[in-house]
Amino acid sequence: MIVFYSRYGNTARMPEEIAYEAKESDGIAVTLKRIADDIPIEVVSKDSSWSKIVEHLNYRIPTTLLEDIMHNHLDITQ
């Protein structure tokens, strides 16, 4: 699993490339988890280019809340 944050899409390229290369190897399964942005959609929607970037990112790799990643994928004991 590759967990990452990308607001404008630039950082998303690296985990996508890593996942692509890993999938080329036998026996390796890769899951990408993009952490949800903390910027309200109302703010994003005021900038059309930013809105397009977010829409494209959401299509490629939907966001996941960090709490959900931790709860569902990590063994956290207290």
Total tally of structural domains belonging to the chain: 1
Taking the C-alpha atoms of residue 11 and residue 17, their distance in angstroms, rounded to an integer, is: 11
Mean pLDDT of the chain: 85
Q: Answer whether residue 43 is part of any domain.
A: yes
Most trustworthy range by pLDDT among 20-24, 36-40, 52-56:
52-56
Q: Answer whether residue 78 is part of any domain.
A: no
SS3 assignment, position 78 = coil
- First CA to last CA distance, the chain: 23
Taking the C-alpha atoms of residue 71 and residue 54, their distance in angstroms, rounded to an integer, is: 25
Task: Please tell me the pTM assigned to this model.
Answer: 0.73
Q: Answer whether residue 34 is part of any domain.
A: yes
Nearest by Cα to 62 from 54, 70, 73:
54
Domain that holds residue 34: 2-73
pLDDT(73) > 80 = no
pLDDT(76) > 80 = no
Length of the chain: 78
